[in-house]
Structure 1
Amino acid sequence: MTTHTLLSDPQEVIGKQWSEHQSPEQAKILGLARDALLFVSATGQRYRFEDFRKSLESGARAPGTFEQPRDGLTNLEERLNRTEGFFTKLRDEADSTGEKELIQVILDTLHFISSTGQHSAFSEYLEHVEAGAPPYAIASFDTKEEAEAWLGNQPSPPVSANVLIANDYHDVLHNRETNIRRLPRNHDLEYYLAELKHEEPPVATASFASLEEAKAWLKAQPEPARWAWVSIAGEFYLAAYHPNINHRALYPLSMAKGYEVEPDEP
């Protein structure tokens, strides 16, 4: 397990526990563990998490303070506790050292979220996942210059997270050994749109004559849906809302051309 696969390798353990006939409770526990690992990765906290684990190994005080769950988050705290109990038992019963290590990463992830006061952020991320929303982004910029200035000013930049630049998805890449910082374009949105088109064929919830009219409509919504199909001048768009960065966007479905999902075999 390398630092680059630290948050992905433990998914194998979760997959082995998943079964068609599992109880609803176990499905919730395994799903929460899966999403906890994805949350730390999607929010660009891999280096921060590595440092957290080193502090645990050295016996030093873990960074951050425990968050007292506010109204509406008590249920999440209970789910985290049940998930921790499940994987603690699984670790203690594991046969191999390798499997124990992978399970420990899951347990450390749950502890990391709680001890660094991220209940609210994790709860919002879970809502994002459950809604089937577009790929998670941690920031939005109008221009590449603005994004590069932001990245250059970060004392501890995120790593392997998404940001939006003029509504295009870019990776935040950072190597803290060399301090190289880059923002390459990625195609996560195109793949997402192609898959969404396959799973939720477009049916417009609203129609507009122009892009400007659609933008005004989306801006006027007090709290839009995470995503909805709309029609603009006869073309389908995805109206998306990213509440964690307070960003609203209209993504043309035409972006998915060339990224179509293969139809299921009969």
Structure 2
Amino acid sequence: MTIFDRIMEAQELLGKNREHAQSPEEKELFLLAIDALWFVWRNGQTYEFERYRKDVESEAPPRVIASFSTRDEAEVWVKARPQSPDLALVLIADEYHVVLSSRDEQRRALVPDMAIAYHIEQMTRNGLPPVVATFNTRDEADVWFRSQSEPPPQTVIQIGSERYLAAFYQNLQHRALFPFSVVERLHQIRRRREQKEAGE
């Protein structure tokens, strides 16, 4: 069954459920879901949607739509787009950022985001996942990672004494290494928030 067939099937199911909705609000939510699928189809994003679903099913790191070496490159890209990819995630020097814009799109910003920290935290909730490969240096790990023609969406490796997530973004053909220690930053933010709330 093609992605087009599956979208049609999903819309039919949503339509049937909409008919039996208990309230106007529920009916509107079903219509919203149907329209979202039509939006994907009519804007030529059906295959991109299919790739997105494969990423979700593989439990890959949060999807990004672009990757940049520097913040300047990213800002030029955001300003040059006729429509802002609002709330989309991008990588800048292999750090997650979210694209934000005002409703009139006159103001656009790239804000650091903790998406990868949440992802690694979820991965380690029931204990540390097994390490696939171990390296003494980051350079050794980079050589190993680049040598793979089509790596899996994510692999856990160890460099020295620290675990890293080796992430492959197939939609961009981009590779990135994220230290598991990013989760500690997330814990620090939570602790500061709790202390602030306790002091109020």
TM-score, with structure 1 as normaliser? 0.67
SS in 2 for 1:214: helix
Q: 1:114 to 1:200 in 2, by over 3 A?
A: farther
Residue from 134, 142, 161 that aligns with 2:88:
161
Who is 1:249 aligned against? 176
Would you say 1:76 and 2:3 are equivalent positions?
A: yes
Measured against aligned partners, the alpha-carbon deviations of 1:122-171 in whole angstroms (never above 9, x if no partner) come to 11101110111111111001111111111111111210110100111111
Q: 1:76 to 1:142 in 2, by over 3 A?
A: same
SS in 2 for 1:198: coil
Aligned Cα root-mean-square deviation (Å): 1.4
SS in 2 for 1:81: helix
Residue from 122, 125, 130 that aligns with 1:198:
125
Residue from 101, 104, 128 that aligns with 1:174:
101
Who is 2:198 aligned against? none
Who is 2:19 aligned against? 92
Offset, 1:201 = 2.1
Would you say 1:143 and 2:70 are equivalent positions?
A: yes
Measured against aligned partners, the alpha-carbon deviations of 1:67-125 in whole angstroms (never above 9, x if no partner) come to xxxxxxx4322221221111101111223211111110000011111222222101110
Offset, 1:176 = 4.0
| Structure 1 residue ranges without an equivalent (≥5) | 1-73, 261-266
Would you say 1:117 and 2:44 are equivalent positions?
A: yes
Who is 2:195 aligned against? none
- Between the two proteins, what is the percent identity of the paired residues? 36
Q: Which structure is higher in strand share?
A: 2
* Alignment check: 8 A CA contact 1:194 1:257 kept: no
Q: Distance in 2 between matches of 1:191 and 1:251?
A: 12
Offset, 1:258 = 4.7
Q: Kindly report which structure 2 residues correspond to 1:3-152, keeping only aligned pairs within 5 A, or say none.
A: 74-152=1-79
Q: 1:159 to 1:192 in 2, by over 3 A?
A: same
Who is 2:145 aligned against? 218
Q: Distance in 2 between matches of 1:173 and 1:222?
A: 34
